[in-house]
Structure formats: C-alpha cells, structure tokens
Amino acid sequence: MAAQTTAQLLELFSFLQDPQAPVRRIALASLLPYTIPDAPERKLFLRDAHIEQLATMCADQELIAHDALSALINLSSTLEVVTRLHKLPGFVTGLVRMIIDEKALLSDLACMLLSNMSKLDAVSRQILGLRVPFSLVEDAPAADAPSATAGAGDADASTAAAPRGPTLQASTEEIAALDLLLEVFLKGEGKKYNPNANYDFLASVFANVSLLPAGRAFLLSTPDRSIEPPLAKIISFTEHPSTIRRGGVASTIKNAAFEKAGHTRLVASSNEGPAEEGCIDLLVQLLLPLCGNEEFDLDVMDELPGELQLLPASKQREPDAQIRLILVETLVLLATARPNRDAMRARGVYPVIKEAHLKEAVPGVKEAMVRLVNLLMREEGPDTAVSELDASTAPEDLPPAPQWNANPETGFVSAAGVQVDGPSEEAEPAQEGAPALAAGDDQPFEHNNVPLSRMQPEEDEDEMLLEV
C-alpha cells in the first residue's frame, strides 16, 4: 500500500509543471496534506527539484500560490528545505515584497514562512543586509508600475520570487528590508494596513534576527538620539491580544537586553518626567503584563510608574507561562547592571514581582522571580556594592543563533498556525486541516531563546519574597 501511495504521489509531482493552471492546482492541493510534519511521505518532496518547483509556484495564481506557500511553511522545519530556499536567487526578496504589499492576499503566509526560514542564521543575516529598491506608497500606483517580482537586481527572481504587488512603487533609493518590515508590522496591527493580514508573525522574524549582534544593533541604533530606535517602537505590544505578536516582541526585547553596552539605556532612572534622551525605558512594558488587579498600599503605589498605578479590576496577568518567563528573565538580565538595580528598586519592581510570585503556579517562572529578587534585595552598601555581577551570578552571554538540531524547542509554525518542533524529519504532529492565512491566537507560544544560566540559590529562597 505504501509503495502504491508513493508511486501515485510521484506521478502527481509531474503535473506541477503542467501548462494548465487547473491541473497544477489540483496536483498541488492533492500533495499538500503530505507536507505536515508527521507524514512519512513528506520526504518525497526533497527529491529532484520539487522544493524549487514549489518556490516557483509562489508566483502562480493566488489559489496555487496559497497552497505552495502552505506546503513550504510545513516543510521549512527541515534544514535541507530552508537551505535550498535560501540559495534561490530573489526568493527572500520576493517574500519581503509580498509582505509589504498592502493588498496582497497571502502576506501572512509569507510572514510565517519568513519566520521559519529566519531561524537559520544565514537567512537572518541575509535579511539584515537586504535592501529593496521599492518604497511603500499610501495609494495604489499607476497601472504601468513595475511588479513586485520584476528584476530589480535579482537575475533569476522570476523563478523564485513571490507574487506581484501592485502597491509597490519603483524607487531610485534602496530601502533596508528590516525598515520596511518594521513599518508594516506597526501599521498592520489589527489588519489596519492590509485587510488580509495582521503581520503578527513578523514579531518572530525580529526575535530570530535579534539573536545576531547586527540584529541587536539594528534594534538599538538611531541616527539621532531624539529619534526613537526600532526597539522603542515595538515594546508596547507586550500587552497585545495576539499571543504570537506579544511573544515574539518579548523574545526580541530579551535578546536586545543581552547587549550589555546598552543596559543603562534600557531602564529609566526614575518615574519622574520623561526618560533621559536616548533612553528606551523597558520597565513599564516588562512589568505591566506581570501585573494583575491587586491593590497596593499608598506608600508602595507612590513608587510605581504611573502606568502601573490603579489598574482596572479587569486587569489580568499574561496568561502564557513561556512569555511570563521571558519577561522575568529579561528583568534578570537588566538587573545585572548596578544603575539598573538601583532604578528598579526605586521604581517598585519588588512589590510587583512579589505579588506575581504569590499567584504564579509554574515552578520555572517562580524560580526566575526568586533569582530576580535575590539580585534586587541583596545588600549593596559602600563595601558590598558591585557595578556588574560576576560570572558566578550573572546570566551567561547570548550564544550564537541556534544551530539546527541543537535545540528541540525551536518553535516552528505549520501552515495551520500550529507550533511544531523542528528541524527534523520526525517532528511532532501538526493538526490536520486546511491551511489558514493566519495563526490562531489560542496556540501556546514557544520561543527558541537559550535559558539563562541558573544563579546560585540561597537558603529558603522560596520564602525570601515574603521575608525581605
């Protein structure tokens, strides 16, 4: 039976290049169910030039392009698939052009595929260096405007680029792809830029790119200290309804916090007035998701930032344990610098974490909260103060971008919007069903950050939050 199924599938592959569009569509639709992670037949897609055929079909008619992108999303949890796609001239550029097209129907699928592909550090580096000779326009361009897949420096783009975008306009000045992706990420929240896309999976792209030093430099850099750097523009999404968006942003913030040279720029010294010029105050956006509707004493209330005071009775803590852990670990990272610890003590971090610890049910998150309290409440008088923690207590430096097969929890997403393990041929099974344009927000968030090294525990550390 298996041999018969294999023979039938191999015959279907021959119809992917049929000149008749209905034939290509039916053949691809029949092959699509075999791309899910638990399908043994998905190895057949690695034969010959089938991956390259699917890439070419991303520029086909919309129904065909939808299934081609969905198939590649499912298959991109495999190293060989991502490597082959990365080698195709113009493919990543085509995905970016599809994403920034305000009327493209498949932008969210392109975001999902770019999210999976950017877990390979070579792809993240390509995104960092990519410049697109097109600019975003508010209104649709004239009918004779160049298409999104037309040449523009990519010799073979026609064989691998994504579908055409009528709202892209040729520009004499090339624009950094990350700047374009950031713009549509901000404008596209809630389908405000493109009625067909919410761009939530771009948050995962930023998280993957920020694993590289150049990616963190992009997030923290600005041409003028009076201009907000990219990181400051996205931190508000830690309270967004979409689990994918707020989880990706939380991971991006955590990765940026590994840049020790910028630590003192990431926490304002006080709650009074605006933050110092050039400061990206992360404290409010890290603490707000950890707050519930508890009431604090007046003396404690005066210490808190204004945004954390008098929260409504409907306020709920971040429901996802993985995201809560990322937020607390980010606070631990920031607390390794003495100026930040002083600021965090003065701005009421301890009372917030104490209340969150009382309500926390996940041991790993509770342990991270205790590590944070150990940093904040340690004695730091004239004889005991240290400006930077040593290697025995501070978190380890950020490792390079994760190597394939090095970490099983890499958070790949399938075309059905389901988080799956990868990259390997024997991945966890994904839910069956027709591919969706966007991932469901009810899926648990998974991240691929390497956990912080454990700090030295203190005696009765579980009781420390109540005793200090």
Residue type, 282: L
- Tens of pLDDT along the chain (468 residues) come to 477 778 888 889 999 999 999 999 999 999 999 999 888 888 999 988 999 999 999 999 999 999 999 999 999 989 999 999 999 999 999 999 999 998 999 999 999 999 999 999 999 999 999 998 765 555 444 334 333 333 333 434 333 444 433 344 556 578 899 999 999 999 999 999 999 999 999 999 999 999 999 999 999 988 777 788 999 999 999 999 999 999 999 999 999 999 877 777 899 888 886 667 778 899 999 999 999 988 888 888 888 988 888 889 999 999 999 999 999 999 999 999 899 999 999 999 999 999 999 999 999 999 999 999 999 988 776 555 555 554 334 444 333 323 223 233 446 676 666 666 554 433 332 323 333 323 333 444 554 433 333 223 333 444 444 433
Cβ(42)–Cβ(36) under 8 Å?
A: yes
Strand, coil or helix: 219: helix
Are residues 315 and 291 in contact, defined by beta-carbon separation less than 8 angstroms? yes
Residues whose CB falls within 8 Å of the CB of residue 290, separated by 6 or more in sequence, listed in order: 317, 318, 324, 327, 328, 352, 353, 356
Nearest-10 Cα torsion for 402, 119, 241, 326: 10
What's residue 30's pLDDT?
Answer: 94
CATH 1.25.10 positions along the chain are 1-75
DSSP, residue by residue, 78-101: SHHHHHHHHHSTTHHHHHHHHHH-
Q: Which CATH class is domain 1-75?
A: mainly alpha
The predicted pLDDT at position 137 comes to 56
Q: 172 burial class (0-12, 13-18, 19+ CB within 10 angstroms)? A: exposed
Residue-wise DSSP of 364-399: HHHHHHHHHHHHHSS---TTT--SB--TTTSPPPPP
Which strand (E) or helix (H) includes residue 136? strand 131-136
